[in-house]
Structure 1
Amino acid sequence: MNGNKTDRNGNSGMRIWWLNPTIIFALLMTIILIGAYYIPGDSYLSFYRVNKFINESNIIFSILPVCCFVFGGILAFLAGKGTKPSNALGEVMEKKDSFIKMWIGLLFAFTMFGYAVWFLIMLRNGFSLALFMSVLSGEPGAIYGIKESFDNVAGVTSFTNFGIPFVILTSYYLFYNKKKIYIWMLLAVFLLTMMRALFFLERLAIMEFLVPAAVVYFSMRAKLGRRTPLVGLYPFIGVIALVGFFGISEYYRSWLSYYVNYYPSFWEFIVTRFFGYYVTAINTGTLYFQHLGFHWLPFPNSTAEFVWKFPGVPDNAYESIYGFEPQAMINNTLATMGNPEFNNPSGLLQPYNDYGFGGALVFWVIVGFFTGVLYTHFQKGHTFGMMIYPIWLVGVLEIPRYFYFGSGRFFPCWVIILAFTLILHYNRKKLTSWRLKGVGAGE
């Protein structure tokens, strides 16, 4: 079922359908848009306490960005047919692994520093073991006590996001060096990520760990010609596991404190709420463009969030420069017409707020094309593609909820991966002999 195929250069065709961003995105959005459109308005009010804004006259504005993304992906596929394979990263890992070990050590140290600062802030603000045990025992509202004892320090606690390139690079390296120290390092980051996801309500953090690790693991097995039974079914298994993890976190977050008296069963609550995060995001995004219209901003706001949340940038920077604050209008619309509890703006529809109608469609063609290019480079073994695509796929999966690629948490990740790629290739002659028999020119 996996259909893996390895060519003479050792580069796998990686015919794992769910690794293809165009296919997985089209499937994901089809399911979500069908659900968002056909769920009755009464159910929106009953389950999510918000009016339904999606209707037959505006659903096309959600369908068009999907079509544009897919079109961009097809263009990238056609343009990438002549891309030559590369084995630069593999050669360095095999012949000069001290370079890789140095980067793994640095990324691990940065990640641990971020978590250390995080916990020190919590201790300073009153976090205690008793509060932690209250959460584990299911005391209603206890988890919010943990969250309230934590304040994010921009630029410092963001060091935890260096854990993403650490996971990717270490996962690749374990195929070349099976030393247990690297497994223990991965385990340490995983446990800290689990705590962050459960107790700080950052469930995205666990996806940022598991999805890249899974992409590296299955793609490398395919590249090495190792069969993986039922690999084509793994996305469905992953969804079941994700819903289960979501259920555990929601049990402490909201079930015990409120919804236990509202829903007839815990499982009905979990399925309804999990799917609700996606359909209400589309519904909220529809509310925004329906109420605020399509306007091309002088500089993107929603899709370039990292610029406005960069350490040292004041909260009113956009208004100081351009005389108005687009996010304030969005927040006011949500507070007066939506439900602030379901505040995901939908990354699919956010570009309408930044680029207007036509600009948003062009934007999605570009994003789809760039995504397809990264996937091609990932398949062909190019360093930047191999390093960035595992986390880029997370961003593709998050598009229904929000635009991950423009977020502050993704910014340090792609910067460090770009720096790693440039340094590796700038020093390639020093790091290894670079060319192997039968391998074409490097990147």
Structure 2
Amino acid sequence: MKHNREAKVGNGSIRIWWLNPIVTFALLMTFILIGAYYIPSSSYLSFYRVNKFINETNIIYSILPVVCFILGGVIALLAGRGMKPSNAFGEVMEKKDSFIKMWILLLFAFTMFGYAVWFLIMLRNGFSLNLFISVLSGEPGAIYGIKESFDNVAGVTSFTNFSIPFVILTGYYLFYNKKKIYIWMLAAVFLLTMMRSIFFLERLAILEFIVPAAVVYFSMRSRMNRKIPFVGVYPIIGLVALIGFFGVSEYYRSWLSYYVNYYPSFWEFIVTRFFGYYVTAINTGTLYFEHLGFHWLPFPSSTAEFVWKFPGVPNDAYESLYGFEPQALINNTLATMGNPEFNNPSGLLQPYNDYGLTGALIFWVIVGFFTGLLYNHFKKGHTFGMMLYPIWLVGVLEIPRYFYFGSGRFFPCWVIILAFTLILHYNRKKLTSWRLKGVGAGE
């Protein structure tokens, strides 16, 4: 087996500005909050069919969490300036080849199992080739036929989310071993993710593939001191590509069935609707705290979604324990005062529903601090940071829409990454005396 020895210089510095989560978050939220505030009420009604709840007195409640996140992140970045770099991740990549391949194959198998279950459920519920062709041919409403033929099986279909650590680990491994089989495996997962994003209306899934893959690719090239042309403007290119992908999915989802008769052009519809998902999320989050107030719950609901959607946990678990259901109040507020079509609650403002005003601001300082800490570990080559940060950045980018870090789809990702990190380092410490089945110390 031949390794790409150039990867040994992988502890070089990373000089890509948009990989810094504090900078990226500050720019993103500045742009979105300015848009959400200055878009006139008439445009909210015309484009999004909802009243504008953001005003000059309550916009401060959207600004404060941003400030707290940045404050926590800056503190972490300053505190970690003296952190020593680590070679552990690169050493294991080079010396424990079969250990890494075992994890890659295991994660790939889990991912394929998840997609196989999806497909079998669809077939059981009446999915047919004719329905698929109807979607491709642009038949209005056909895509909802596919959506309706699918029932999520908690804990089983969630196996598809193992694709995230698979993409990250395989992306790194390809800098050490260029075997084509792993490229084909990535291509297979990418194709399935594309289909899932377009036909199952899970557009976040494509971000969960593209962003981690990009972070791994560009950070590794930077560590290896390889020149990356125009890398500073890639976020703009990525935004244009994302809007284009969004346009393709919306074409089948809502343009043909309704909006073709409402907007003068498809492009105006796409740009308006794309940015609408973000500005209306801030508007909806503002509606919630304006109408429901700030209350510190006995246990978090919105920001700990994975707890209440864990396999085997009944739907009424929160109400059974505490006598009320916070999400029911939120849903009722949305149905009566908002627009259920734009139901993103804004991850920026969700903590107000769980921790109240003061608790939410403290919460964002903590999240910002952990984000900065994770980025420090990522820059210095520490395993947990190398593995978790690529997908953590997706959560940072999703904060305007919803709190990704507390979601059920993120839960299996960080658990498997934590397990991998612990086993990897135990394996490294026992490099000459400890054996995992299929792993040789001298590889």
TM range (shorter): over 0.9
RMSD of Structure 2 on Structure 1 (CA): 1.3
Post-superposition Cα deviations, 1:331-386, rounded to whole Å, max 9, x if no partner, equal 00000000000000000000000000000000000000000000000000000000
What residue number does 1:214 align with?
214
8 Å CA contact 2:299–2:354 kept in 1: the answer is yes
The answer to whether the Cα contact below 8 Å between 2:9 and 2:224 also exists between their aligned partners in 1 is no
Is contact 2:10–2:90 with CA below 8 Å preserved after alignment?
no
Distance 1:432 1:195, change over 3 A: farther
- Asked if the contact 1:104–1:166 (Cα under 8 Å) also holds between the matched residues in 2, the reply is yes
Q: Report if the CA contact (8 A) 1:92-1:432 is conserved.
A: no
Counterpart of 1:290 in structure 2 is 290
Q: 1:342 matched to which residue of 2? A: 342
In the alignment, residue 26 of structure 2 is paired with which amino acid? A
User: Does the CA-based 8 Å contact 1:62-1:349 persist in structure 2?
Assistant: yes
Query: Whole-Å Cα distance in 2 between the matches of residues 433 and 235 of structure 1?
Result: 46
In structure 2, what is the Cα distance between the partners aligned to 1:125 and 1:67? 48
Match of 1:391 in 2: 391
**Counterpart position of 2:98:** 98
Q: SS in structure 1 opposite 2:274?
A: helix
Matched, 1:413 2:413: yes
Conserved in 1, the CA contact under 8 Å of 2:9 and 2:223?
no
1:222, 1:366 → 2: CA distance?
Answer: 29
User: Structure 2: which 5+ residue stretches go unaligned?
Assistant: 1-5, 435-443
Partners of 1:14 and 1:81 lie apart in 2 by 14
Q: Offset of 1:87 from its aligned partner?
A: 1.4
Specify the alignment match of 1:225 in structure 2: 225
Q: How far did residue 433 of structure 1 move?
A: 10
Q: CA deviation at 1:429?
A: 3.1
1:217: how far off? 0.1
How far apart, CA to CA, are the structure 2 residues paired with 1:136 and 1:10? 44
Question: What is aligned with 1:44?
Answer: 44
State the 1:12 CA deviation: 2.3
Residue correspondence of structure 1 range 146-161 to structure 2 within 5 A: 146-161=146-161
Letter in 1 for 2:250: E
Q: State the Cα deviation string for residues 227-273 of structure 1 (Å, max 9, x = none).
A: 10000000000000000000000000000000000000000000000
Structure 1: give runs of 5+ residues left out of the alignment: 1-5, 435-443
Sequence identity of aligned pairs in percent?
Answer: 86
Task: Tell me the residue number matched to 1:108.
Answer: 108
Q: Contact between 1:16 and 1:232, CA under 8 Å: does it hold in 2?
A: yes
- Paired letter, 1:134: S
| Partner AA of 1:104 in structure 2 | I
Deviations 1:251-306 (A, max 9, x none): 00000000000000000000000000000000000000000000000000000000
In structure 2, do the counterparts of structure 1 residues 258 and 428 end up closer, same or farther at CA, with 3 Å as the change threshold?
same
Cα displacement (A) at 1:432:
6.8
Secondary structure (helix, strand or coil) at the match of 1:318 reads helix
Asked whether the equivalents of residues 158 and 409 of structure 1 are also in contact (C-alpha less than 8 Å), the reply is: yes
Deviations 1:141-174 (A, max 9, x none): 0000000000000000000000000000000000
List per-residue Cα deviations over 1:198-237 (Å, max 9, x = no partner): 0000000000000000000000000011010000000000
Report what 1:308 is aligned to.
Answer: 308
Q: Is the 8 A contact 1:305 1:407 kept in 2?
A: yes
Secondary structure of the 2:154 match is coil
Render the CA deviation track for 1:57-87: whole Å, top value 9, x for unaligned.
Answer: 0000000000000000110011101111001
SS, match of residue 430 in structure 2? helix
Report the equivalent of 1:422.
422
Retained in 2: the 8 A contact 1:80–1:373?
A: yes
Structure 2 match to 1:203: 203
Counterpart Cα distance in 1 of 2:137 and 2:430: 56
Aligned length: 428
User: Partners in 2 of 1:432 and 1:134 — Cα distance?
Assistant: 59
Q: What is the correspondence of 1:32-431 to structure 2 with a 5 Å cutoff?
A: 32-431=32-431
Counterpart residue number, 2:437: none
Decide whether the 8 Å contact of 1:92 with 1:431 is kept in 2.
Answer: no
How high is the TM-score relative to the length of structure 2?
0.95
- Displacement after TM superposition at 1:9 (Å): 7.2
Give the match for residue 24 of structure 2. 24
